[in-house]
Structure 1
């Protein structure tokens, strides 16, 4: 699941290691680590082949974030619903406070951004901001039609008698959201905010018809 959110090799390795440890098949720690490394490499390679387009988008998002962060600027964007978002990741500095009893050490954010953190965090943060936009659009539409709505992350709930109606609404709102040129709008906002920076070209657009989602039984089930 985390592959399309830009999971790293280390993250994949640790996930696999935990699952292997739960099964209890490999007892030796060194052997468990080696198996996790191998499985992570094979898994990420396979996912890269299966989800080439998604991976290229994640890479593009990360590359754009790096361009911005290297200028000591935090990555910021506006969601399709107009919510401004700023990534707060900055390097921490030590601040000593001397008292008559002891010396206290506090950690405070500095003016320098964490380039690596800005880069790795942006793809999942951006995707989650789109997920949140979809949820809010669905919730508002449900309210307008008199449906009760509850949700946690990507799990949407309503009364059993209204599930079919909600399924129709959430598909319609998904198509409405992603019919918009989201990446093009993001790039335009970056170029407007940082006119002197050069950003990588957009990933190639596919030919999938978003309206097919409206007829997809298991798209969101």
Structure 2
């Protein structure tokens, strides 16, 4: 039986699902026991991650334009989403008690910035279809984390909808983006440009670097 892109995306996402124990912070946020300092660090780290990922996605779109236009469309949508998310970060940071002085003087943590560094590596070295598959599998876990955080910030900290909008944005499903991922992966399968083994390896590292992100924040001193 010919394997379809939907089948491959579904099975890859399942295989790469993170170990629930790999994220020490989100359960604490869900319970209302995470310190405000950890929430502030989360917002500040994202202020570095989001623009870096946006530039990486733009580079991937440019690289893909001729040989993998379906992937280019997917990466352009990702870049546009990161630009929108960046606009939502100031309200989150303000709700977490971060002022302009604190934001300007903040030094990002290596354990949190390993993820965008690897995304940048993929933008230079990864085959477009492989990267689409790896990223889409990773986004499933990230969206779930964001949904949990948005709910908890409202329930335990009284955050407004505006303050939670960053997490709401990533928590909300995007059928249009999902379809672009399916189209790009299917094109990769049809043209022989997708290497399932490499894509799985990329996705595995993305999940490990994301786990490092949460672990770093989860073990910060209160």
TM-score (norm 1): 0.30
**How does the TM-score come out when normalised to structure 2?**
0.30
The higher radius of gyration belongs to 1
Q: Which has the higher contact order (CA 8 A, sep 6+)?
A: 2
Higher helix share: 2
Higher strand share: 1
